[in-house]
């Protein structure tokens, strides 16, 4: 008798950051004997930031269960945290999963689903403070584990997160082999990928762009956080 496959579900939504999804997907889809499902609220096509269209997604409501759920981030993360249908499906699947995971601002959606109360979690540096709206404890680490919850920081941290998950599930040797197979050896031309590493001018420029949407994101996070009373406790 064959073993039940390990099921990974990526829960995606319009205007997600595609690398938050495609980076981890490239790694986690290589889990031995695994089934990887890409799903959305309504199924069908999802347009990511930059216009990339992800096709043939399944409807979240049609997926019975999964072993790992991953929610990527994106410019619409706090808006999506107010999508009650999407959040409810994420919560349903997460409560039955062995691993609950996210990348970047996807952790804000996990928070809106009542899954991070009292838990340490990572997020993109610019929006990390919004985790407190959901009773979570912001953690600046690139990959954070708290029990069965694994969260990655901003965008490219999703690949590090995925290799961490791969080692957890399939073993360190397998994770190392795939690291070599994918030639994962980051060597960025500019070492300013975190605020503490960036020069003042670069930090001001990026922070200024973030400030343009900060008020809206804070308002959406506060509204989503106010809805948490529907959940008694997180798992």
At 73-117, the pLDDT tens digits run: 999 999 999 999 999 999 999 999 999 999 999 999 999 999 999
Distance CA 156, CA 160 (A): 7
State the CB neighbour count (10 A cutoff) for residue 192: 13
- Note the pTM of the prediction, 2 decimals: 0.96
Residue 131 is predicted with a pLDDT of: 98
At 150-196, the pLDDT tens digits run: 999 999 999 999 999 999 999 999 999 999 999 999 999 999 999 99
- Using an 8 Å Cβ cutoff, are 34 and 162 in contact? no
Angle at 137 (CA atoms; ends 22, 215), nearest 5 degrees: 75
Distance CA 105, CA 180 (A): 28
Residue with tokens 């990526």: 10
| Coil/strand/helix, residue 103 | strand
What positions carry a catalytic annotation?
Answer: 104
Q: Give the contacts of 121 (CB within 8 A, at least 6 positions apart).
A: 102, 107, 110, 111, 131, 136, 137, 138, 139, 144, 146, 149, 151
Task: State how beta strands 143-146 and 149-152 pair.
Answer: antiparallel
* CA distances, 169 to each of 70, 110, 119, 166 (Å): 14, 21, 21, 5
At 11-37, the pLDDT tens digits run: 999 999 999 999 999 999 999 989 999
Q: Which residues pair with 137 in a beta bridge?
A: 120
Reported as a pLDDT band with limits 50, 70 and 90, residue 232 is: low
Distance CA 174, CA 158 (A): 18
């Amino acid at each position: 008798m064959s073993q039940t496959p390990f099921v990974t579900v990526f829960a995606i939504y319009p205007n997600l950051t595609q690398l938050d999804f495609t980076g981890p997907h490239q790694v986690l889809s290589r889990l031995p004997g695994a089934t990887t499902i890409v799903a959305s609220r309504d199924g069908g096509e999802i347009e990511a930031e930059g216009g990339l269209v992800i096709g043939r997604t399944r409807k979240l409501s049609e997926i019975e269960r999964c072993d790992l759920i991953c929610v990527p981030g994106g410019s619409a993360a706090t808006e999506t945290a107010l999508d009650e249908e999407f959040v409810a499906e994420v919560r349903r699947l997460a409560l039955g999963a062995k691993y609950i995971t996210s990348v970047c601002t996807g952790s804000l959606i996990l928070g809106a689903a009542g899954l991070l109360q009292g838990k340490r979690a990572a997020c993109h540096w610019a929006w990390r403070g919004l985790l407190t709206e959901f009773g979570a404890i912001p953690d600046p680490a690139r990959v954070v584990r708290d029990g069965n919850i694994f969260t990655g920081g901003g965008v490219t941290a999703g690949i590090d997160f995925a290799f961490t998950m791969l080692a957890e599930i399939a073993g360190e040797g397998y994770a190392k082999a795939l690291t070599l197979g994918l030639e994962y050896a980051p060597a960025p031309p500019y070492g300013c990928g975190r605020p503490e590493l960036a020069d003042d001018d670069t930090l001001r420029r990026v922070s200024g762009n973030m400030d343009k949407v900060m008020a809206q994101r804070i308002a959406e996070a506060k509204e989503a956080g106010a809805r948490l009373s529907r959940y008694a406790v997180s798992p």
